Amino acid sequence: MPTKSTYDPEILPNLLPAYYKYLFPFNPYCTWLRYGVAQKSYFSLREFSFTLKDDVYIRYQSFNDQKELETEICSICPYKIDVGAVFSHKPKMYKTIKANSFVAEEKELVFDIDMTDYDDVRNCCSGAQICKKCWPLMIIAIKILDKALRDDFGFDHLLWIYSGRRGVHCWVCDSTARKLTPNGRAAIAEYLSVVKGGENNLKKVVLQEPIHPFIERSVEIIEEYFEGYALVDQDILRSENINEIINLIPEKNRNDNLQKVLLSANNSISRWNILTKELERPGVHAGRVLKEIMLQYCYPRLDVNVSKGLNHLLKSPFSVHPKTGRVCIPIDPTDVENFDPFTVPTISQLIDEINTTSENEENLKIKDYKRTSLKEGVEIFENFLKKLKKTWEGAMIKESDLKMEL
């Protein structure tokens, strides 16, 4: 059994050298970012940024190959690694390039879902805190967005990553996604944005008839979790919250005695059943309002700015979250219900495991990270890479065939 160990942020500088030397999966990581592109310079045009001790932030770092990147990371041991765009020139040369010539040309289409954006609908936690009662929001987000990006936009290569603390990231890695313009990215993000409006906006979801099939499909996914998550764990119709729900219902659809009727029941499940009957009674037919409430409380909250900008940085897979010590590992979207953020390995645990297996492991040819709790996350990443490789290998064969024809 793996050795469990607690994490103390103060000892992070002592653990990072061993983590980067033995555990960071540089080979598959760099294979991913090369994308099998024929031009050797492609990888060297990618921006990396590093956060060092005391929040020292270094942008526009770039490397010619895996060896250079690995040497630098093992040398400076960054607290955090961020990945940016592929630029027109090597990012490390940006000071020598005219500003209007140094432009971001490609980047994965990315989505950042952060639990703090749900604070107005979470009853259990707030801010950076998460618990088992609110984590289903991330499961719902992954299921809805993964299906929409695949079915509605035709993307195949989605890399889902746990952020290490309170959310998840999605990297859409298809060639067509990487080449999208800011307008194209914004259009996709806007299509997926259902919850809109700031803190002062009480009603954040307004549906139009007929309801779009994408919205209907999203509601079906939410319905799988709504009773257990929203009505039991979050208790959204608890007595002190009833008026908030009632205020989401247009006055024309409200029974004047609705508050009294709802309070006649003693739990959120019973109250939701009453509300459903009230809004679907003859002459009202406000089932759409029920869907608006479900979406407001459960639909993914998106930051459009993160997705539309090519120059936006996002925390790298396999980076270590400095506050929690947890590794930003891949999530299998087909098995997302079984992903538990509270069992994600910490750097302390991994170093303990590598020390133990180094003493006992007979076959030392096995990669170090595959002798620890990091193994499952790396294998999910490698399976993602296998499918991705087929696309660029196919593209290279096609390109070769065209050259032969010429």
pLDDT at 320 over 50: yes
Q: Which of 74-83, 135-144, 388-397 is predicted least confidently? A: 388-397
The residue whose two tokens read 């032969």 is 404
How far apart are the two ends of the chain, measured CA to CA in Å?
59
8 has a pLDDT exceeding 90? no
pLDDT per residue as tens digits for the range 198-242? 777 899 999 998 999 999 999 999 999 999 999 999 999 999 999
For the ranges 66-80, 158-172, 282-296, which has the lowest average pLDDT?
A: 282-296
User: Which whole number is the average pLDDT over 289-297?
Assistant: 97
Q: Is the pLDDT of residue 5 over 60?
A: no
Q: Which of 47, 108, 235, 368 is catalytic?
A: 47
Instruction: Check if the beta carbon of residue 43 is closer than 8 Å to that of residue 33.
Output: yes
Domains of the chain and CATH, by start: 9-192+303-405 (3.90.920.10), 213-298 (no CATH)
Residue 396 pLDDT level (bands cut at 50, 70, 90): low
Q: Which of 106, 114, 146, 352 is catalytic?
A: 114
Indicate if the pLDDT at residue 393 is higher than 70: yes
Q: What is the structure's pLDDT at 37? A: 81
Average pLDDT across the chain, whole number: 91
Q: Across the strands, what pairs with 87? A: 104
Average pLDDT over residues 154-161: 98
pLDDT band at 26 (very low <50, low <70, confident <90, very high): very high
Q: Give the model's pLDDT for residue 216.
A: 97
Query: CB atoms < 10 A from the CB of 233, how many?
Result: 20
Instruction: Look up residue 164 and give its two tokens.
Output: 């290490």
pLDDT of res. 1 = 35
Rounded mean pLDDT of 371-379?
A: 95
Q: Known catalytic residue: 112?
A: yes
Closest alpha carbon to 7 in 286, 322, 264, 232: 322
Partner residues linked to 170 by β-bridges: 111, 160
Coil/strand/helix, residue 129: coil
**pLDDT-derived band at 4, boundaries 50, 70, 90:** very low
Per-residue pLDDT of 182-197, as tens digits, reads 999 999 999 999 999 8
pLDDT of residue 253: 81
Decide if pLDDT at 268 tops 60: yes
pLDDT at 38: 67
Q: How many CB atoms lie within 10 A of CB 350?
A: 26
Tell me: pLDDT of 243 over 90: yes
Q: Is 4 left (phi over 0), alpha (psi -120 to 50) or beta?
A: beta
Which tokens sit at 322? 């400095």
190 in active site:
no
Neighbours of 196 (CB within 10 A): 14
Neighbouring C-beta atoms of residue 61, cutoff 10 Å: 21
Once rounded to an integer, what is the mean pLDDT over residues 26-30? 96
* Per-residue model confidence (pLDDT) at position 364: 47
Confidence of residue 359 (pLDDT cuts 50, 70, 90): low
Give φ, ψ of 344 to 5 degrees.
Answer: -60, 130
DSSP string over 58-95: EEEE--SSHHHHHHHHHHH--SEEEEEEEESS-GGGGG
Is residue 159 within 8 Å of 384, Cβ to Cβ? yes
Which of 70, 82, 108, 112 does the annotation list as catalytic? 112
Residue 401 scores a pLDDT above 60? no
Which pLDDT score is estimated for 188?
A: 98
- In this prediction, residues 51-69 reach a mean pLDDT of 96
Of 277 and 399, the one with more pLDDT? 277
For residues 135-149, give the mean pLDDT. Answer: 98
Q: pLDDT tier at 248 (50, 70, 90 boundaries)? A: very high
* Whether the Cβ atoms of residue 171 and residue 163 lie closer than 8 Å to each other: no
Task: Specify the pLDDT at position 392.
Answer: 83
8-state DSSP, 211? P
> What pLDDT sits at residue 363?
46
What would the mean pLDDT of 247-257 be, rounded to a whole number? 87
Is residue 10 part of the annotated active site? The answer reads no
The 10s digit of each residue's pLDDT in 98-133 is: 989 999 999 999 999 999 999 999 999 999 999 999
Q: Are 299 and 139 in contact (CB under 8 A)?
A: no
Mean pLDDT of 243-249: 95
85 φ/ψ angles, rounded to the nearest 5 degrees: -90, 170
DSSP output for 16-45: HHHIIIIIS-HHHHHHHHHTT-SSTTTGGG
230's tokens = 């929203």
Inter-residue long-range contacts of 9-16, CB under 8 Å, 24+ positions, other chains counted: 9/322, 9/323, 9/325, 11/348, 12/79, 12/320, 12/322, 12/325, 12/347, 13/53, 13/77, 15/347, 15/348, 15/351, 16/77, 16/78, 16/79, 16/320, 16/347
- Evaluate the CA torsion angle 81, 86, 90, 93 in order and state its sign: negative
Residues 6+ apart with CB under 8 A from 211: 288, 291
Percent of the chain topping pLDDT 70: 93
